[in-house]
Amino acid sequence: MNLTITCACGTGGTIRSAEAGHSWRCPDCGSAWRADQRSAARFTEFAAAVRRMRMVVLFALLLAAVAAGVLAVVDPGRLLLVPVLLGVAAILYRPTHRRRLTRLYQQLPQAVAERQRS
């Protein structure tokens, strides 16, 4: 897995985080950055949390599709209620989902690679 680094001078680069101690040197200012296993593990935990958030949304959509299928078989006349109910559910759930996702992104470490003193 690669980690993208933006130096304080604005130049960007990547570090292979799978290798402990792998470093990157900024071509403009010469600052050195090193990725260690701890930062790679924190980044992996963050990626897993974002995947879990996505799975909640996908599960809700799957549940809605199954409910729409059952409703189509039981009472086809009320099938038009499905988009309306999905819209209402999305409007009600979106602020909660967005708040959770914002909180998750705020917990993301600002620097997953540590600056080396040269």
DSSP bridge pairs for 48: none
In tens digits, what is the pLDDT along the chain, a chain of 118 residues? 566 777 778 887 776 655 556 677 788 888 777 666 566 677 778 888 888 988 988 898 898 888 888 888 888 888 888 888 888 888 988 898 889 888 887 776 554 444 545 4
pLDDT score of 55: 92
pLDDT score of 35: 64
pLDDT score of 75: 87
Q: Hey, is 20 helix, strand or coil?
A: coil
- Beta-sheet pairing, 32-35 with 22-25: antiparallel
Q: Hey, is 30 helix, strand or coil?
A: coil
pLDDT score of 42: 74
Q: From CA 6, how far away is CA 13, in angstroms rounded? A: 6
Q: From CA 63, how far away is CA 38, in angstroms rounded? A: 38
